[in-house]
Structure 1
Amino acid sequence: MEVICLEDAAFYTLIETVVERIKEKLSTTEDKWIGGEEAMRKLRITSKTTLQKLRDEGKIRFSQPEKKIILYDVDSINEYLEEHAKERF
């Protein structure tokens, strides 16, 4: 067994550093808009056709900032999943 001794100031500096790193890790938020592959991963689907169907039926929000780029709203995907969640009784 090894024992490491630290002075009070060094100990508290170490603790503050650790706390700051944890705060940085927790504060990273996911993007509001994601690409098709990530949207499919979140929805647990493998078909681009299914993703297009959800988009076309207005079940999930999307944005098309450029002709070939379609981005999906993470909040609407999460809402869609919540709406279709089944409760077990």
Structure 2
Amino acid sequence: MEVICLQDEAFYALVEQVVARLKEKSGQEKEKWISDEEAMQLLNIKSKTTLQKLRDEGKIRFSQPQKKIIVYDRDSLNAYLEQNARNTF
């Protein structure tokens, strides 16, 4: 068996490179802003009206770069889900 010794800085730099490459390969680098279809899928809702209600009530963040284009903040949707999660007994 061969033992390889690395300095702390070199080891952590290597780990960061490996993590970055794994994210790149697996596609885990997700977009911050997602479409209404993706938002509905993430929230597990089927109605655009429900999505609009959440938006109008200020429960989720959105951006409207053009008149008919609305995109949703993925972090806001995840926070909304976490806020409404119920703990088990």
Shorter-normalised TM range: 0.7 to 0.9
> Structure 1, residues 18-47: CA drift from partner, whole Å, max 9, x if none?
x79x62324631100000000000000000
Task: State the Cα deviation string for residues 31-71 of structure 1 (Å, max 9, x = none).
Answer: 00000000000000000000000000000000000000000
Match of 1:74 in 2: 74
- The number of residue pairs the alignment matches comes to 70
- Whichever of the two has the greater Rg, that structure is 1
2:18 aligned with 1:57: no
Q: Distance in 2 between matches of 1:40 and 1:65?
A: 19
Structure 1 vs Structure 2 CA RMSD = 1.9
Distance of 2:40 and 2:27 partners within structure 1? 25
Q: So what's the TM-score if we normalise by structure 2?
A: 0.72
Distance 1:53 1:27 in 2: 31
Other-structure match for 1:32: 32
The code of the aligned residue for 1:52 comes to Q
Amino acid at match of 1:30: K
Letter in 1 for 2:29: T
Unaligned runs of 5+ in 2: 1-17
Query: What is residue 42 of structure 1 aligned with on the other side?
Result: 42
Runs of 5+ consecutive residues of structure 1 not aligned to the other structure: 1-18
Q: Secondary structure at the match of 1:87?
A: coil
